[in-house]
Each structure stands twice: as structure tokens, then as C-alpha cells.
């Protein structure tokens, strides 16, 4: 996962906590999902070690 993708996910997560409403479009999800899924899988491996 690139640093820019991490920053984008963090910004969206932060906005969803503090903004009244947030809209994440299909295009955003399709773009970030593969990297986010890979990141989660790597974290699962680290936790299980």
C-alpha cells in the first residue's frame, strides 16, 4: 500500500468520524479496495506470528 493510499484512507476514516455525512463513491472503493485488502492480510499474518 502506497503512502498516498494510506493517507487517503485515513482522511476518509477521519471524515466519517467527525463530519455529519460522508459519501464514498464506487470509484474510490474500487481504487482503494485491493490495497486495503492486501494491507489487512499482512496485518493478520503479523498478528498470528
Q: Is the pLDDT of residue 1 over 70?
A: no
Q: What is the value of pTM for the model shown?
A: 0.53
For the chain, what is the domain count? Answer: 1
The whole-number pLDDT of residue 45 equals 96
Residue 9's contacts (CB-CB under 8 Å, 6 or more residues apart) are 32, 36
- Buried b / exposed e over 33-42, threshold 16 CB at 10 Å, is eeeeeeeeee
Longest dimension (CA), the chain: 39
pLDDT of residue 20: 72
- Report the pLDDT averaged over residues 16-44: 84
Which range of residues forms the domain containing residue 10? 3-48
Amino acid at each position: 500500500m502506497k503512502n498516498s493510499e494510506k493517507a487517503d484512507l485515513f482522511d476518509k476514516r477521519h471524515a466519517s468520524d467527525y463530519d455529519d455525512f460522508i459519501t464514498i463513491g464506487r470509484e474510490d472503493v474500487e481504487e482503494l479496495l485491493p490495497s486495503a485488502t492486501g494491507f489487512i492480510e499482512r496485518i493478520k499474518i503479523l498478528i498470528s506470528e
